[in-house]
């Protein structure tokens, strides 16, 4: 594990771009007790800060239009700061995101081949024993049931930093999950995989958002199913490295991910925001989910990637 730093009154570990900025700047600030700040990147790659259950900051969107955002439970036809704030406030009201009311169980599919949907299916089908995810209020957790995977991952993307909320961590553990660090709620995916291995799980999946984390897990636990998420804005070199170390890659609004992953993918699921299987293990999970789905599919061999009419704009 890399060096740990403290920002304002919340724990941050290396991983996302913001954490790397603090590491490179050498910032080391003492953690205060009673912290309740959560930072996410979502909906147009806006930086969103939630404190005490309230949205206190919404950054400028990098992406102006997203076909997925139009299908949210609280839709966003056009990505503006006001629309993003309203959507996040709806999430706080409806399932308690970033609060002690956080609901961590859900059985609904939000995206057919989203990361949480694939991992939830994998656990239900016996293909995966445990999924290492990041959850607001808990940090890195090990989820062992389909409902917990979907309840956590289907409702949260781009978690940059979070603070411990005991009620949320209790709820996760009551539903069979494992919180790796109740004291700090740190986001540390390699430590999550280490703990899953120590707990004798054998078929482990993990979500990652940067090449360093993916490469570290691939090196220490090569059999882990590595799923790349929240990839919008990666440089070409970072995208290349992340694709090389992953089994499944979500494309988000990333142009280089579409280029690198699409060129070497074994399977592409979806065309608006594709998910690419880079390995036989990733391909098997997608194909098995198709086999168990009542939905119709067109299956054909073709050169990848295939782009649909609706894409996030702009691709970054």
Same domain, 255 and 163: yes
Separation between Cα atoms, residue 116 and residue 67, nearest integer Å:
18
Closest CA to 141 of 108, 109, 174, 114: 174
Q: What is the pTM of this model?
A: 0.87
Separation between Cα atoms, residue 255 and residue 8, nearest integer Å:
34
Same domain, 89 and 211: no
Same domain, 77 and 177: no
In a domain, 19, yes or no: no
In a domain, 69, yes or no: yes
Classify residue 142 as left (phi > 0), alpha (psi -120 to 50) or beta: beta
Domain housing 232? 105-291
Same domain, 137 and 230: yes
| pLDDT score of 73 | 73
pLDDT in tens, 21-38: 443 343 333 333 457 999
Beta bridge partners of 65: 313
In a domain, 298, yes or no: no
Tell me which residues of the chain have a pLDDT lower than 50: 1-33
Same domain, 71 and 44: yes
Same domain, 248 and 148: yes
Count of domains observed in the chain: 2
Q: Residue 205, preceding bond cis, omega within 30 degrees?
A: no
pLDDT in tens, 182-222: 999 999 999 999 999 999 999 999 999 999 999 999 999 99
| pLDDT score of 312 | 86
In a domain, 24, yes or no: no
SS3 assignment, position 58 = strand
Closest CA to 43 of 73, 22, 14: 73
């Amino acid at each position: 594990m890399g060096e740990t730093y403290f920002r304002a009154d919340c724990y941050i570990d290396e991983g996302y771009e913001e954490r790397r900025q603090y590491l490179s700047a050498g910032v080391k600030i003492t953690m205060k007790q009673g912290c309740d700040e959560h930072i996410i990147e979502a909906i147009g790659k806006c930086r969103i800060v939630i404190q005490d259950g309230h949205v206190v900051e919404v950054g400028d969107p990098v992406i102006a239009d997203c076909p997925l955002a139009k299908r949210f439970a609280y839709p966003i036809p056009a990505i503006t700061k006001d629309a993003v704030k309203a959507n996040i406030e709806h999430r706080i009201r409806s399932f308690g995101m970033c609060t002690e009311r956080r609901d961590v169980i859900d059985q609904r599919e939000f995206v057919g081949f989203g990361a949480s949907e694939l991992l939830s299916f994998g656990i239900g089908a016996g293909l995966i024993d445990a999924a290492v995810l990041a959850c607001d209020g808990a940090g890195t957790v090990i989820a062992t049931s389909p409902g917990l995977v979907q309840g956590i991952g289907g409702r949260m993307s781009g978690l940059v930093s979070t603070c411990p909320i005991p009620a949320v961590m209790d709820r996760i553990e009551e539903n069979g999950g494992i919180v790796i660090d109740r004291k700090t709620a740190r986001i540390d995916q390699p430590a999550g995989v280490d703990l899953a291995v120590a707990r004798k799980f054998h078929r482990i999946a993990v979500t990652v958002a940067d090449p360093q984390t993916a490469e570290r897990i691939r090196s220490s636990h090569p059999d882990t199913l590595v799923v790349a998420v929240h990839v919008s804005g990666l440089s070409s070199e970072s995208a290349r490295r992340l694709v090389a170390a992953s089994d499944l890659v979500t494309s988000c609004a990333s142009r280089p991910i579409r280029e690198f992953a699409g060129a070497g993918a074994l399977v592409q699921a979806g065309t608006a925001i594709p998910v690419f299987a880079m390995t036989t293990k990733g391909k098997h999970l997608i194909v098995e989910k198709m086999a168990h789905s009542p939905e119709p599919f067109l299956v054909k061999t073709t050169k990848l990637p295939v782009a649909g009419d609706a894409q996030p704009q702009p691709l970054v």
